[in-house]
Structure 1
Amino acid sequence: MSRADTAAAIWRAPYTWVTAGSISLVFLAALQALAVTTVMPVVSADLEGASLYAAAFSATLAASVIGMVGAGAWSDRGGPLRPLTACVALFVAGLVIAGVAPTMVVLVVGRLVQGLGAGGITVALYVVVARAYPAALHVRVFAAFSAAWVVPSLVGPFLAGAVAQYLHWRCVFLGVAVLAVASFFVLAPRLPDMHRPPADVEPLGRVGRRLLLAITTAVGLLAIGLAGKAGAFTAPLVIAAVVVVAVAARPLLPRGTLRSARALPSVVLLRGILAAAFFSAEVYVPLLFVERYGFSPVWAGLALTLAAITWAIGSGAQGGVGRAWPDRSTAVGGAVIVLVALVAVTGMALTGAPAFWLIVFWAVGAVGMGLVYPRLSTLTLAYSSTRDQGANSAALSIADAIGAAAAIAVLGLVFVSAPPAAAFVGVFACAAAIAASALLPAFRVSAADEERA
């Protein structure tokens, strides 16, 4: 089968509607993420919630850890339909709560509920891919998931800014809620036949323990995000919360993750570190353009638009010529690109460089993320058996969420505590330091025998 035939196969029977529905949910997740990042400066000003700016992002990611663990175990036991249904319901409920929120506190609560659903949707869709498609098509589907960010990236930030500026920011949340319901009803009717649980599923007692650990991890992440309100107790609270997160999260990840053991543990660790570096910095990109350069909400989304396009280009390369690239080379190359971009953005924030160059280098960093993310998703399934597809997919997403949530929370403290002139430089420099630590696991994503081959 030619490359063109392989690429088209995911759109042919019996995969057509599964592909369409799955990609629609990914599309809406992308639209929501890009839109909320764009309009949050307006939301924060309207609800007088500057002190909760970072918490509005970290709360969603923290709660998503619980959804990931629950959906992963549920999917392994009985297929992805029921967990996907529950998670879409939570996702929509959270969007509605945020869309009608009278205060920033209520909006953060809505983002928490939304996070419970969003995390579970991600894991359930990974299991859909594992059970609905042959292994040869996995990289194509994951590349299509990443490419599903293209249209949101073209219109999402700009449209969200326009909606916030000319209508109201509440429409951004409520509009996505309506579309999510429609996408679910495209996908759901095609999933009942995928109920093929393995005989040796994870015991319920172990599932309960993992859920308790996920809840503890989420509480610790929320504590970091809210530590700025603790006054003199800020530093001790942050240290205690970081310890709690590290201890509680360790059993949720593959054994050896924190020491970057070869293969799956390093794949999961790399995903978490890159998410921490890139997404913690991205939160402040539109805020930088609004506060430093005087951009309107419409134009503040420009950097996110271009970056999402270049991310999709990098992901598209993985679905094409990049399939032949060695795993380690792809991981190291992508990590280096992200690091170089963050170092450049830090320097430009320090020197007050023209906005054009900030946009360009942020887009360069997104290319690196696009190159690495589909490969890490594919490697996770390659290192998994039918018994642990859900658990390992959940671990990958958990690392993603924990890394991003912890980094966003900590960088939020850096931002509010630093002198105004150094605030943006501080957060971007911290993000670059995090990206530098990604090089170790990047060199260890391949199994030893694969490297020798």
Structure 2
Amino acid sequence: MTDSITDARPEPVSVFGKQYRGTSIGLLLIVSIVAFEAMSVVTAMPIVVESLDGLAYYAWPFSAFMVANLLGMVLAGELADKLGPTKPMLVGLVAFALGLLVAGTATTMVQLIVGRLVQGLGGGILIVVMYVLIGVSFPPSLHPRVFGLTAIGWVMPGLLGPVVAGSLAQHAHWRLVFLGLLPLVVLGTLLIVPGLRRAPSAAAAPGPVVTSNAYRGGTAPRWPYALLAGVGVVLLQVAGERLDPVAIPVALVGLVSVVVAVRRLLPVGVASAAAGLPAVVLMRGLAAGSFFAVDTLVPLTLSSVHGWSAVAAGLPLTFGALGWSGASWVQGRYPNLPRSVAVSTGMVAVGIASASMAVVAWVPGTAWVAFPAWIFGGIGMGLVMPSLSVLLLENSTDADRGRNSASLQISDALTSSLTIGFGGVLVAAATAGAFGMSTAIGVIDVAMVGIAVVGVLVAPRLRRRAAP
């Protein structure tokens, strides 16, 4: 009798247990590759465009990546729901590798932009399909640990990416920033393929399940709206850079494009923070938008306002990455931590960090505050992001996991683009002499505090499901 009871007892599982080890390592490596590419390209791009005589088109490689990234997210969500994660994951890996190859061998700006387009498409597919793969390959009890693991995948790229990329671009060749990642993509593919083989296909998944969080347009293709959203964000960026009468109609067209697209790309009820999935998707945008808008300005604050060197001004970002990874690890170790409480606590931390950076911008002699502030902000995001990922899967079924994952990433990307663009407009106006740089940066920081406060108010609605 004792033996039968012992046999029935579930064995403890780990993300690095025999069944999950290859998938976990493959996911970690792929996340690290995408993160390193994101961190390193920004550092190397000035040298890249100068060598290709394309300084006048400096923003185009970034805009091309962003538009294709949105398209890849939507396509991945639809394909993963229909076909399962295996084929879309392989397509994303091939596209990302091909983009690296095209960009790394570029001899003209046109080829570089094409490479970034293909990279963006592959990256958008990968980030969404990873959510689907986690949902079908790991039991719910392991989801917090898996998302904590993927968050840690951003740590080393955050610490080493800018340094390595800058050294390669300056002392070796900028092409290595792209081509040097290709062997890692191949290795990540080899590690993750066994896990993909075990993942259920669309044929093995249950039939469609009608959820209470419907999308406008039903099951109609959404990729045209992804393109519309990308074009709208680019138009808003162009308008912000012009600072002339033409900027007004361009900004209006961009804003209308984004609003029309968002209504089709995100679940019904996001604007009103409806309970369940809509609140989760909205919260992802609030968290990413408030944090990254300030994050991009931390080095500028310390260098322009306090006169720090470029290297010293970037150090708080490293401390923020450490805080993020530490909090994500805690999330994984304590999977029963109430998710809505973790998210509200994290948003409070982001708000305090943003307010502290406003003080750094306005008060002389407070530059040192950037270090504890951004550790605190990183801890906040480490609490928020894995929690929202877990809640997304809890609010999804096999029939809509891909579409919901795409919505989460789209909310993140669009809101971050808009808040960072808002910051860019104020910084450009300050550069033109409209007001002081410290004023511009401080206003942006305070505005992001307001967004963080909205996030705290929305957090209690994360776990409540909308009534059918």
The verdict on a shared fold, with TM-score over 0.5 as the criterion, is yes
Which position in structure 1 is the counterpart of 2:457?
443
Which position in structure 2 is the counterpart of 1:72?
77
Q: By how many angstroms is 1:210 displaced?
A: 0.9
Letter in 2 for 1:374: P
**In the alignment, is residue 142 of structure 1 matched against residue 147 of structure 2?**
yes
Which position in structure 1 is the counterpart of 2:232?
220
Distance 2:249 2:148 in 1: 43
Indicate the larger mover: 68-77 or 421-430.
421-430
Q: By how many angstroms is 1:286 displaced?
A: 4.3
- The alignment-based identity, stated in percent, is 34
Q: By how many angstroms is 1:13 displaced?
A: 2.0
Letter in 1 for 2:447: A
Q: CA contact under 8 A between 1:147 and 1:316: conserved in structure 2?
A: yes
Gaps of 5+ in 2: 1-5, 211-216
Which of 131, 136, 141 pairs up with 2:136? 131
Which position in structure 2 is the counterpart of 1:304?
317
Q: By how many angstroms is 1:311 displaced?
A: 0.7
Partner of 2:272: helix, strand, or coil? coil
**In the alignment, is residue 317 of structure 1 matched against residue 330 of structure 2?**
yes
Q: CA contact under 8 A between 1:271 and 1:373: conserved in structure 2?
A: yes
Which position in structure 1 is the counterpart of 2:269?
256
Provide Cα deviations, 1:155-184, integer angstroms capped at 9, x if missing partner.
223323333343344422222233223212
Which position in structure 1 is the counterpart of 2:258?
245
Distance 1:88 1:210 in 2: 22
Which position in structure 2 is the counterpart of 1:34?
39
Which of 389, 393, 416 pairs up with 2:405? 393
Letter in 2 for 1:350: W
Give the TM-score of the pair, scaled to structure 1: 0.87
Letter in 1 for 2:318: T
Label 1:441 to 1:348 Cα distance change in 2 as closer, same or farther (>3 A).
Answer: closer
Q: CA contact under 8 A between 2:101 and 2:115: conserved in structure 1?
A: yes
Letter in 2 for 1:69: V
Gaps of 5+ in 1: none
Distance 1:177 1:346 in 2: 41
Indicate the larger mover: 173-182 or 24-33.
173-182
Provide Cα deviations, 1:239-291, integer angstroms capped at 9, x if missing partner.
22112111111221111001111221111111112212222333344455666
Label 1:126 to 1:428 Cα distance change in 2 as closer, same or farther (>3 A).
Answer: farther
Distance 1:411 1:433 in 2: 10
Over 6 Å off, 4+ runs: 44-51
**In the alignment, is residue 25 of structure 1 matched against residue 37 of structure 2?**
no
Which position in structure 2 is the counterpart of 1:234?
247
Which position in structure 2 is the counterpart of 1:410?
422
Distance 1:337 1:16 in 2: 33
Provide Cα deviations, 1:208-251, integer angstroms capped at 9, x if missing partner.
53111111111111222233358431122112211211111122
Q: By how many angstroms is 1:109 displaced?
A: 4.6
Distance 1:101 1:300 in 2: 31
Q: CA contact under 8 A between 2:348 and 2:456: conserved in structure 1?
A: no
Which of 86, 90, 94 pairs up with 1:89? 94
Which of 308, 321, 339 pairs up with 2:351? 339
Higher relative contact order, chain-length normalized (CA < 8 Å, sep 6+): 1
Partner of 2:141: helix, strand, or coil? helix
Which position in structure 1 is the counterpart of 2:384?
372
Which position in structure 1 is the counterpart of 2:3?
none
Distance 2:364 2:405 in 1: 41
Q: CA contact under 8 A between 1:280 and 1:408: conserved in structure 2?
A: yes
Larger radius of gyration: 2
Count of residue pairs the alignment pairs up: 444
RMSD, matched Cα? 3.2
Q: By how many angstroms is 1:302 displaced?
A: 2.7
Which of 51, 66, 71 pairs up with 1:61? 66
Which position in structure 2 is the counterpart of 1:434?
448
**In the alignment, is residue 180 of structure 1 matched against residue 176 of structure 2?**
no
Provide Cα deviations, 1:281-321, integer angstroms capped at 9, x if missing partner.
3334445566664635x655433322211110111121124
Provide Cα deviations, 1:100-120, integer angstroms capped at 9, x if missing partner.
455667645533332211111
Indicate the larger mover: 278-287 or 381-390.
278-287
Distance 1:233 1:145 in 2: 43
Q: By how many angstroms is 1:128 displaced?
A: 0.6
Letter in 2 for 1:139: P
**In the alignment, is residue 279 of structure 1 matched against residue 278 of structure 2?**
no
